[in-house]
Structure 1
Amino acid sequence: MASTEVSESSPTRRLSPFRWAFPIVVVTLLASLLGVMYLDYIVDPEKNLHDFPIALVNQDVGDDLNTGGATKHVNFGDQVAAGLQQAVPGDKIDLRVLGINEAQLQMQSAKVYGTIIIPSDFSKRLGILGVGSVVPGEITRPTITLQTNPRTGAFTTAIVQKFGAEALTQVNAQVGKQLTEQVKTTLAPAPGGPPAPELSAATLVALTTPLDIVVQQFHPLPGGSGEGLTAFFYSLLLLLVGMVGAMIIHQLLDSALGFLPTEWGPWYVHYPRTPISRVRTLLLKWSAVVVMSVTVSAALLGIGEALGMPIDRPFLLFLYGAFVITAVGVTCTSVLAAVGTAGLIVNLIVFIILGLPSSGGTVPIEATPKYFGWLSSFEPMHQVFLGTRSILYFDGSAEAGLSRGCWMAALGLLIGLVFGLVITRFYDRKGLERKPAVAAAA
């Protein structure tokens, strides 16, 4: 192996305190940014909750009740729906009044995270319950169904369940209060008539909480889905492979071309510099990134299937994975070609420090500080997550995020290609060759 050493006669360059302290300052600043981003999005999701989408479906057709000898048409479902709309904090929950078909479509495309369903016989059953409290017979409590959307993530499901427990408990108490007053009014004795029968304790309990709140999953996840986290971690793998792979390719090819020294344990080698332009060097790295993206995407797909991860659209996941890795890798190598070693820091900030907490993969964007929503509109990790989640959990639905994931990856790839070619061509035309500063000055 060829080896280069500093001769004894060459002047010894001493490390200044500033140069020694500079990497410590850089790491401290990066760690501080990392701490702010990662802790701010997880410390208090309930406080940060905003625009959290939940559908409200009222199918109640009402019922004709006989009160005091007169027939009156009532619709308790409308009253419950109106009460929910007033009680729900508008700055936290985006309560969407929808029909059942539209609500299911939005659940299937992850546009809403949960649905409250008031059934068509709600008023009828509530009226029967009121009559049944004083007339012997078999009765069934009216139900309100809270559907969760487990394919949007475990944390999202937990928020929906907590919201349902709080809001529907209040609704149950309010309906119970109204029903109890109605029954007592019905039983009120006529002037001079016999005294009204007293309601038993069991009857009062039944009237106080008349509703049966049913929680059910909409399209439950199959086993091996990690409670909805496999999409996030698969997306993270694609992003890390694209970024880290690009950095490894950049480093090793620069070493092979003689632009950087190579160390293997105690051995050191610095090959002669290859006469190659910056543009051709970048094209060489891009070709390696493309080949790497295909092999790694196939490897990740095989590993996922071997581990029992349910993948209904394997070929689509393979293509999307290769596309994402290519887009991220090309962009990262372009940044490194443009700004050199500092590109490592730029890539780390863009793809990891800002990307992971704004991905929406663990905590939904609607439960993070609002600036994370702004970041998620362009940060790569969020786009990759939407596309991967769509393929794994929503049958590759374009509306569930695949179309956004694809065109944002295409936009990122285009930006990386144009940026890299423009910068490296500019450097070449200006004669800014990649050679040591001393040699360039000579």
Structure 2
Amino acid sequence: MTDHTAPPQPSHRRRTMPLREWLAPITLVTVLAALLGTMYLGYTADPEKHLHDFPIALVNQDVGDTIAGAPTNLGDQIDAALRANIPADKIDLRPVGMNEAQRQLRNGEVYGALVIPGDFTKRVAILGAAAVVPGEVEQPIISVLTNPRAGTLAAQIMQTVADQAMTQVNATVGTQLTDQVRAALGDTPISGAAQRQLATPIDIVVTAHHPLPDGTGQGLAAFFYTLVLLIVGFSGAMMINSLVDASLGFVPAEYGPWHKNTARAPISRWHTLLIKWGIAAISAPLASAVFLGVGALLDMSLERPLLLFLYGTLAITAIAVTGLSVMAAFGTAGLMINLVVFVVLGIPSSSGTIPLEATPRWIADMAAVEPMHQIYLAVRAILFFDGHTEAGLGRGLAMTLAGLAVGVFLGAVATHIYDRRGLYRLGIDHRLTTPVEGH
């Protein structure tokens, strides 16, 4: 016998939203706005004000000479003056040899170096003598090496710090040298040209250590490459979560004004999550390859494309798997958690635009565990530091693998607990919905 009873129709009674349902989204938006304002405006407002532990190498190669009949080493004096006068809480001044300075520059461990050459005192002595006895003379030189591969703004901050320090050094050495020349000349006046030369005797030469090649966006390519890896992993997780749930009948699939309902599949939370993880794992290498191909078409500098492809695949997989696990564990709240962890807190603490040493300390501390900072270190090492593990690839790789492990663990434990306790997901009730497209 066929049952001709019409199915129950949806109720058209007007339903009002309680006050708490209005307050919940309004509160969330307000809190998100406050968090965004604190993170994004707070760390960009005045980087130099927040400067702390900014690493600079100091190389003193001066061997000294005799000035006014006395053994003198001006390099040692400048070295001591810089260490005494540069605020230790703002600048991490590292007295090292030239080989060690080059190693730290090569691995992005310092943002620049101040180099006093071996003949510095000798050149100062010759300059002083030239004010008394005519002859050819070369200015004493102090080199300022910036490290643009460690960050564009970091190189600018390095140059600003060096300018301030070297202005003071130049004035001090100039005063000392002028006094010595006056003592040697006695009543004989010093010419105006000589006075000008003696007042600022040091030639400050600023050069970039291992300059960036073309196609790097002045050093910003590493940040934006990291950003696209993060976005595709984060957004991909949300899309995979919604599409798979719609396909399995847990939520309706909506296409503009149309919607489609599918009967709920008899599947556990754990197996649902496995399907989502599988799709993410298949999508990750495709997305990584697309980014690499687009970069090549746009003439982006890609010195190690295979390594970048492999790490990009890992990073996208780790973000997507962790994001899916968070949504499996916390449901709708997982969307906000993912947004805050990966994006809101991630970009300011990435160090891709402003070095951590020029951000508030609490942001710099957060970077130790923030996923985007770890990915940025690895991408920057691959793009700008020849894939050296010491330049950040080692740490970035280890932390990305650790993040992937945490994501897998969280998803597996949460879904197994829910399944064992019989907390099954409810599908669409077809008695209360219209399963026909266009209705």
Please tell me the TM-score bracket, short chain as reference.
over 0.9
Aligned to 2:59, the other structure's residue is in SS state: strand
Match of 1:292 among 275, 283, 291: 283
Corresponding residue for residue 49 of structure 2: 47
Aligned to 2:48, the other structure's residue is in SS state: helix
Corresponding residue for residue 437 of structure 2: none
CA distance in 2 between counterparts of 1:235 and 1:308 reads 17
Give matches, 1:42-441, under 5 Å: 42-65=44-67, 67=68, 71-188=69-186, 196-435=187-426
**Paired amino acid for 1:84:** L
Answer with 53-62 or 259-268: which moved more.
259-268
Aligned to 1:45, the other structure's residue is in SS state: coil
Q: Offset of 1:91 from its aligned partner?
A: 1.1
Deviation string, structure 1 residues 217-236 (Cα, Å, up to 9, x no partner): 00000011111000000001
Answer with 13-22 or 304-313: which moved more.
13-22
Deviation string, structure 1 residues 257-296 (Cα, Å, up to 9, x no partner): 0000011122111100000011100000000001110100
CA distance in 2 between counterparts of 1:52 and 1:219 reads 20
CA distance in 1 between counterparts of 2:177 and 2:301 reads 48
CA distance in 1 between counterparts of 2:267 and 2:128 reads 88
**Paired amino acid for 1:202:** A
CA distance in 1 between counterparts of 2:343 and 2:11 reads 45
Q: Offset of 1:44 from its aligned partner?
A: 1.2
Aligned to 2:250, the other structure's residue is in SS state: coil
Question: Alpha carbons of 1:291 and 1:183: their partners in 2 closer, same or farther (altered >3 Å)?
Answer: same
Q: Offset of 1:15 from its aligned partner?
A: 2.0
Which runs of no fewer than 5 residues in structure 1 stay unpaired?
189-195
Deviation string, structure 1 residues 70-96 (Cα, Å, up to 9, x no partner): x43211111111111111111111110
Q: Offset of 1:393 from its aligned partner?
A: 0.2
**Paired amino acid for 1:36:** T
Corresponding residue for residue 37 of structure 2: 35
Q: Offset of 1:20 from its aligned partner?
A: 2.7
**Paired amino acid for 2:144:** L
Q: TM-score normalized by structure 1?
A: 0.94
**Paired amino acid for 2:130:** G
Question: Alpha carbons of 1:437 and 1:20: their partners in 2 closer, same or farther (altered >3 Å)?
Answer: farther
Answer with 254-263 or 19-28: which moved more.
19-28
CA distance in 2 between counterparts of 1:148 and 1:213 reads 13
- Percent identity (aligned): 52
Indicate if the aligned counterparts of 2:264 and 2:428 stay in contact, CA closer than 8 A. no
Q: TM-score normalized by structure 2?
A: 0.94
CA distance in 2 between counterparts of 1:208 and 1:238 reads 53
CA distance in 2 between counterparts of 1:104 and 1:254 reads 54
Question: Alpha carbons of 1:131 and 1:8: their partners in 2 closer, same or farther (altered >3 Å)?
Answer: closer
Deviation string, structure 1 residues 384-426 (Cα, Å, up to 9, x no partner): 0000000000000100000010000000000000110000000
CA distance in 1 between counterparts of 2:277 and 2:285 reads 13
Answer with 74-83 or 277-286: which moved more.
74-83
CA distance in 2 between counterparts of 1:255 and 1:391 reads 39
CA distance in 2 between counterparts of 1:396 and 1:92 reads 29
Answer with 213-222 or 178-187: which moved more.
178-187
Q: Which portions of structure 1, spanning 4 or more consecutive aligned residues, are displaced by more than 6 angstroms? A: none
CA distance in 1 between counterparts of 2:336 and 2:108 reads 34
CA distance in 2 between counterparts of 1:264 and 1:114 reads 54
Q: Offset of 1:58 from its aligned partner?
A: 0.4
What is the RMSD computed on CA atoms of the aligned residues? 1.5
CA distance in 1 between counterparts of 2:63 and 2:278 reads 64
Q: Offset of 1:438 from its aligned partner?
A: 8.8
Q: Offset of 1:298 from its aligned partner?
A: 0.3
Question: Alpha carbons of 1:266 and 1:6: their partners in 2 closer, same or farther (altered >3 Å)?
Answer: farther
Indicate if the aligned counterparts of 2:60 and 2:117 stay in contact, CA closer than 8 A. yes
CA distance in 1 between counterparts of 2:385 and 2:12 reads 66
CA distance in 2 between counterparts of 1:335 and 1:355 reads 16
Q: Offset of 1:125 from its aligned partner?
A: 0.5
Question: Alpha carbons of 1:416 and 1:8: their partners in 2 closer, same or farther (altered >3 Å)?
Answer: closer
**Paired amino acid for 1:204:** Q
Deviation string, structure 1 residues 31-68 (Cα, Å, up to 9, x no partner): 11111111110111111000000011000111134x3x
Q: How many residues align?
A: 424
Corresponding residue for residue 3 of structure 2: none
CA distance in 1 between counterparts of 2:24 and 2:270 reads 31
Corresponding residue for residue 192 of structure 1: none
Deviation string, structure 1 residues 229-258 (Cα, Å, up to 9, x no partner): 000000011111111101100000000000
Which runs of no fewer than 5 residues in structure 2 stay unpaired?
1-6, 431-439
Question: Alpha carbons of 1:347 and 1:180: their partners in 2 closer, same or farther (altered >3 Å)?
Answer: same
Q: Offset of 1:7 from its aligned partner?
A: 1.8
